[in-house]
């Protein structure tokens, strides 16, 4: 994933003495999401990152599954999720399985009184509306419309929003989120045929070292339970760090579409992958240029995957009545394709302005109680209209 990066002050050699101006030692911390056998970073704290001073009562944070099994095309109006002030309270899981959770959020307020750590899952936050700054121990990342924020599990963070109108689409992955293997060299560099490159990756900057004692709450989610744990020093007390495991941003607007003479299959849109799922970016692009090309996607059978589309912006020629923030779920087992009239309408078209995020999962998704509250129950019959 991201290549080697460093910010702040670090010692010449890892695991050696690194002293403060007063002669005491900085506290070294290895951060890795796969033990000692994969990407990692080394962070140097002003104080040990282990100083727990208080533990509050944990509370349930698991999704409320409404339907475990189903075989029906579904549609959900994502912007019907009502805004809430608190960031964590605003996160509403809508589709879940054992590999990933897909959530919507409409937070009004920045995280000021606490920090958050997902101890179970990598997070991929797509910013549909809003802007602000992701603050972490690694530094700051400014974000805005169209950004993917990739946050490794275990990262302590705060989101600061510039305004109160924010809409997020969140993928929680219980495996590491990576770039597609076919776009990577054996040594991890993005290859020439990849639709984005390292120049498009925005790494943390402006490391802020906050050496402050006090009572700092980190809400830590583990196995569907939230644990409010108080620490004695500010978690952003890092004087420096280096390594290859850290949060980063990638804009969907920097994804360069792959096109061809005839319609290209969805894997050309792939942007990220996890265990048993992929994330794709549909962006404005030229249509196929064969003289008899059919720009509309052909009917296809989802035999071994569920297909989720989160509609962001633009005109979707294959679908009727598309709204911003709408989610469609086409489950594995039955075919789907363009709505009636879409194929003929697409003939001769030169380009599309659509913008969407797709998640294909290779295990069935379950529908939550929150999803039922925003469902358009007419969608399953929309191919007969």
Domains of the chain: 256-384 (2.60.120.10)
Radius of gyration of the chain (CA): 22
Mean pLDDT by 10 residues, the chain (385 residues): 89 97 97 88 97 97 95 95 97 98 98 96 98 98 98 98 97 96 93 96 97 98 97 98 97 95 90 98 92 88 90 82 93 89 85 94 97 94 83
Task: Give this prediction's pTM.
Answer: 0.96
331: DSSP letter: -
pLDDT at 38: 87
pLDDT at 382: 87
pLDDT at 340: 85
pLDDT digits (tens, 9 = 90+) for 222-251: 999 999 999 999 999 999 999 999 999 999
Q: Are 326 and 77 in contact (CB under 8 A)?
A: yes
Spatial separation of the C-alpha atoms in residues 243 and 31, rounded to whole Å? 9
Cα-to-chain-centroid distance, residue 39: 19
Say how many CA atoms lie within 13 Å of 30 toward its Cβ.
Answer: 12
User: Pairing between strand 238-243 and 5-8?
Assistant: antiparallel
pLDDT at 2: 63
Spatial separation of the C-alpha atoms in residues 94 and 182, rounded to whole Å? 30
- For residue 313, the cross-strand partners are 355
334: DSSP letter: S
Spatial separation of the C-alpha atoms in residues 270 and 249, rounded to whole Å? 16
| CA distances to 252, 295, 344 from 350, in Å | 21, 8, 14
Which is nearest to 130 in space by CA: 177, 92, 79, 173? 79
pLDDT at 176: 94
Spatial separation of the C-alpha atoms in residues 149 and 34, rounded to whole Å? 20
């Amino acid at each position: 994933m991201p290549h080697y990066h460093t910010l702040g002050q670090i010692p010449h050699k890892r695991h050696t003495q690194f002293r403060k101006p007063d002669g005491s030692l900085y506290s070294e911390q290895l951060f890795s999401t796969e033990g000692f056998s994969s990407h990692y970073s080394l962070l140097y704290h002003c104080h040990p990152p282990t100083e727990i001073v208080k533990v509050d009562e944990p509370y349930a944070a698991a999704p409320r599954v409404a339907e475990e099994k189903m075989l029906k095309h579904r549609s959900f109006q994502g912007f019907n999720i009502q805004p809430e002030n608190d960031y964590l309270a605003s996160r509403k899981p809508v589709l879940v399985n054992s590999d990933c959770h897909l959530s919507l959020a409409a937070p009004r307020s920045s995280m000021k009184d606490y920090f958050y750590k997902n101890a179970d899952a990598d997070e991929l936050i797509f910013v549909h509306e809003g802007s602000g700054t992701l603050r972490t121990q690694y530094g700051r990342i400014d974000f805005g419309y169209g950004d993917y924020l990739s946050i490794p599990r275990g990262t302590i963070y705060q989101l600061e929003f510039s305004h109160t109108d924010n809409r997020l689409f969140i993928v929680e992955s219980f495996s590491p989120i990576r770039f597609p293997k076919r776009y990577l060299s054996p040594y991890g560099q993005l290859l020439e045929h990849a639709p984005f490159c390292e120049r498009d990756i925005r790494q943390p900057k402006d490391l802020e070292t906050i050496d402050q004692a006090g009572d700092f709450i980190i809400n830590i989610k583990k196995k569907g339970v939230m644990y409010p744990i108080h620490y004695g020093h500010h978690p952003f007390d890092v004087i420096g760090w280096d390594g290859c495991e850290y949060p980063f941003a990638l804009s969907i607007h920097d994804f360069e579409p792959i096109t061809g003479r005839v319609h290209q299959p969805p894997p050309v849109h792939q942007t990220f992958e996890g265990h048993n799922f992929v994330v794709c970016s549909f962006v404005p692009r030229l249509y196929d240029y064969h003289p008899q090309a059919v720009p509309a996607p052909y009917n296809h059978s989802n035999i071994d995957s569920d297909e989720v589309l989160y509609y962001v912006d633009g005109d979707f020629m294959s679908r009727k009545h598309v709204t911003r923030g709408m989610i469609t779920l086409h489950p594995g087992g039955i075919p789907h394709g363009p709505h009636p009239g879409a194929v003929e309408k697409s003939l001769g078209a030169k380009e599309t302005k659509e913008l969407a995020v797709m998640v294909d999962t290779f295990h069935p998704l379950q529908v939550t109680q929150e999803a039922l509250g925003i469902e358009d129950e007419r969608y399953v019959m929309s191919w007969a209209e």
